[in-house]
């Protein structure tokens, strides 16, 4: 399993309402972090530089690696998150259902669209739960980006309440910190877009209602 799949299963397991767009951005960030760990990619300031090492043997990571821009100027991390993250949560849901890691549940924990799903008790689910219970820093930081926490205040988790990052969070790799920060920024930008659309829709409705 990968960090992205672990994150998806944790989102299912903890009964948190997570937006598809938010989770998709975090999943893209998780993929990039795994590619960095494998040597398939590196970070140069705010840009992604492809590495020489082949992608790990995972369908999604291979797809992510194949989509890296290989010519300078390389793609900005935030641009890549938006591009790679498009409909990514739905793709993970489909793949995990096909692999038997998720099952439909009429009263399920999380709903993406009309279908509700919940994790199946598998080794992959137990592995994801183990990372979460062990306070694995990368998984905790990415989960924080989409509003998932373990109920502990920021000073106990080592994560800042606003950014999800802290010197004590265990994120000692500068490239990983950069990616997680980019995920937080992208999620906040997405929320700003939602709020702007809500305001515009309300203003349009008031216009048609008249005085």
What average pLDDT does the chain have?
83
Inform me whether the pLDDT recorded for 112 exceeds 60.
no
Q: Give 44: exposed, middle or buried? Use CB within 10 Å, 0-12, 13-18, 19+.
A: exposed
pLDDT tens digits, one per residue of 7-49: 999 988 876 668 889 999 999 999 999 999 999 999 999 999 9
**Residue 186 has what pLDDT?**
95
Inform me whether the pLDDT recorded for 157 exceeds 50.
no
pLDDT tens digits, one per residue of 34-45: 999 999 999 999
**Residue 201 has what pLDDT?**
65
Inform me whether the pLDDT recorded for 55 exceeds 50.
yes
**Residue 82 has what pLDDT?**
96
pTM for the whole thing? Answer: 0.83
**Residue 108 has what pLDDT?**
46
């Amino acid at each position: 399993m990968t960090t992205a799949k672990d994150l998806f299963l944790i989102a299912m397991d903890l009964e948190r309402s997570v937006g598809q767009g938010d989770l998709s951005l975090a999943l893209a960030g998780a993929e990039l972090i795994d590619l960095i760990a494998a040597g398939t990619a590196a970070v140069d300031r705010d840009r992604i530089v492809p590495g020489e090492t082949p992608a790990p043997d995972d369908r999604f990571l291979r797809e992510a690696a194949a989509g890296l821009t290989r010519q300078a100027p390389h793609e900005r991390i935030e641009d890549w998150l938006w591009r790679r993250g498009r409909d990514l949560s739905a793709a993970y849901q489909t793949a995990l259902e096909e692999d038997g890691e998720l099952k439909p549940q009429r009263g399920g924990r999380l709903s993406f669209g009309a279908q509700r799903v919940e994790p199946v008790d598998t080794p992959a689910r137990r592995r994801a739960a183990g990372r979460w219970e062990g306070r694995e820093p990368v998984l905790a930081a990415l989960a924080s980006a989409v509003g998932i926490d373990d109920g502990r205040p920021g000073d106990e988790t080592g994560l800042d309440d606003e950014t999800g990052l802290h010197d004590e969070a265990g994120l000692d790799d500068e490239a990983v910190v950069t990616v997680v920060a980019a995920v937080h920024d992208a999620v906040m930008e997405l929320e700003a877009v939602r709020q702007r659309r809500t305001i515009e829709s309300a203003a349009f409705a008031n216009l048609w209602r008249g005085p």
